């Protein structure tokens, strides 16, 4: 039986350069996908594609992950696909490095986990970027907020408020942040810093910095905290950290406390009330005590925009808040939305 992931050149046409051992040309990551998988990745409504080992393929079009009929692949085939996808992103996945995250040409983000870390077989998650860049008007049309809410958000951008966009995974934090930054004045210089570059902004002056993982010898890594320090030397009008997940929160807060208005970042949190505990945990990683972190956040962050995803899978702005101090500790005051 032919292997479903083999891609053969047709008619002697030249084949684009590929990573040694790969079956896919680097310039066209969609060309080598199995047809049923490519069809879903190429669908403009699809936001995520999931392969759960040999047990199934699931697709999310914004209304929750739904199983796809007609998909057949055994564990060896799914593992081969994971190895190929990760290699296309310039990294390597094997038993010694079983969890890897990469970005492919076109902005497709691939995360793969091999067994036994993933007990049910190789798991692949693909985040598929929108083909067209969504602005605030597009998100309003999609139901993320109403017209009054859109005007409120646009006003925060125009006022150069420092924003923190929060929410659980998959709630649209990156999508909303990109739309907010796209509403910034055309003359402003935006520098974004991400672990894996996902932010695509409709703006003429956008500089993207992406962290680099260490090589097999453990050398050459550049983390987000280092990139924040480098970005400060690039004279940004708006400094953005795509997601605060560690010690880089210290550098971000320091930067926003030195006159860098209009900055932003995203943070995983289940609700506005959970934001202080989440920031305190990150601050501890950076050596910041609760009191020092509270003062830094209160001074640096103007507004917190929280996103949620309903039972129907629809993403929406669930609340707006402002940091405040409460007996020396960080708290968040929930405000009327859109109000």
Residue 108, both tokens: 């497709």
Spell out the domain ranges in the chain.
35-127, 136-335
pTM beyond 0.85: the answer is: no
Q: What is the DSSP letter of 129?
A: P
Q: Which pLDDT tens digits describe the chain residue by residue (339 residues)? A: 334 443 333 333 333 333 333 333 344 556 656 677 778 888 888 888 999 988 888 998 877 788 888 778 889 989 998 998 888 888 889 998 899 988 887 778 899 999 999 988 999 999 887 767 789 999 999 899 999 999 999 999 999 999 999 999 889 898 999 999 999 999 999 999 988 778 889 999 999 998 887 777 778 889 888 888 899 899 999 999 888 888 888 888 888 887 789 999 999 999 999 999 999 999 999 999 999 999 999 999 999 999 998 877 788 999 999 999 999 999 999 999 986
Residue 7: partners with Cβ closer than 8 Å, 6 or more residues away: 23, 24, 31, 32
Question: What confidence score (pLDDT) does residue 11 get?
Answer: 35
Question: What confidence score (pLDDT) does residue 234 get?
Answer: 92
CATH 3.40.50.300 fits 136-335, yes or no: yes
Residue 117: partners with Cβ closer than 8 Å, 6 or more residues away: 98, 99
Question: What confidence score (pLDDT) does residue 131 get?
Answer: 67
Main-chain dihedrals φ then ψ at residue 270, nearest 5 degrees: -80, -20
Alpha helices in 197-259 (DSSP H): 224-232, 248-256
Closest CA to 223 of 233, 232, 236, 213: 213
Closest CA to 252 of 187, 194, 331: 194
Determine the topology of domain 35-127 in CATH.
Beta-Lactamase (3.30.450)
How many Å apart are CA 264 and CA 270, to the nearest integer? 19
For residue 52, the number of C-alpha atoms closer than 13 Å in the C-beta half-sphere is 12
How many Å apart are CA 292 and CA 283, to the nearest integer? 9
Question: What confidence score (pLDDT) does residue 209 get?
Answer: 92
């Amino acid at each position: 039986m032919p292997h479903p992931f083999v891609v053969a050149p047709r008619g002697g046409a030249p084949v684009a350069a590929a990573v040694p051992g790969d079956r896919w040309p680097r310039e066209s990551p969609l060309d080598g996908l199995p047809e049923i998988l490519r069809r879903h990745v190429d669908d403009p409504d699809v936001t995520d594609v999931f392969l759960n080992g040999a047990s199934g393929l699931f697709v999310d079009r914004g209304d929750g992950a739904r199983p796809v009929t007609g998909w057949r692949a055994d564990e060896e085939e799914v593992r081969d696909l994971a190895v190929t996808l990760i290699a296309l992103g310039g990294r390597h996945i094997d038993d010694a490095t079983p969890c890897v995250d990469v970005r492919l040409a076109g902005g497709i983000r691939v995360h793969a986990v091999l067994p036994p870390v993933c007990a049910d077989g190789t798991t692949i998650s693909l985040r598929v970027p929108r083909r067209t860049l969504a602005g605030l008007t597009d998100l309003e049309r999609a139901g993320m907020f109403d017209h009054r809410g859109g005007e409120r958000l646009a006003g925060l951008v125009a006022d150069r408020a420092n924003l923190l966009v929060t929410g659980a995974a998959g709630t649209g934090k990156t999508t909303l942040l990109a739309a907010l930054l796209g509403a910034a004045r055309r003359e402003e210089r935006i520098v974004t810093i991400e672990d894996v570059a996902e932010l695509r902004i409709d703006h003429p002056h956008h500089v993207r910095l992406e962290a680099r993982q260490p090589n097999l010898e453990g050398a050459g890594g550049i983390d987000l905290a280092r990139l924040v320090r480098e970005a400060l030397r690039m004279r940004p009008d708006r400094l953005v950290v795509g997601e605060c997940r560690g010690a880089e929160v210290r550098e971000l807060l320091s930067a926003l406390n030195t006159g860098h208005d209009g900055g932003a970042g995203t943070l995983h949190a289940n609700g506005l009330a959970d934001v202080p505990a989440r920031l305190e945990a990150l601050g501890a990683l950076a050596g910041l005590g609760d009191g020092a972190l509270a003062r830094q956040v209160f001074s640096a962050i103007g507004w917190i925009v929280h996103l949620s995803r309903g039972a129907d899978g629809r993403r929406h702005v669930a609340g707006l808040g402002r940091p405040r101090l409460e007996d020396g500790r960080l708290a968040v005051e929930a405000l009327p939305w859109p109000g």
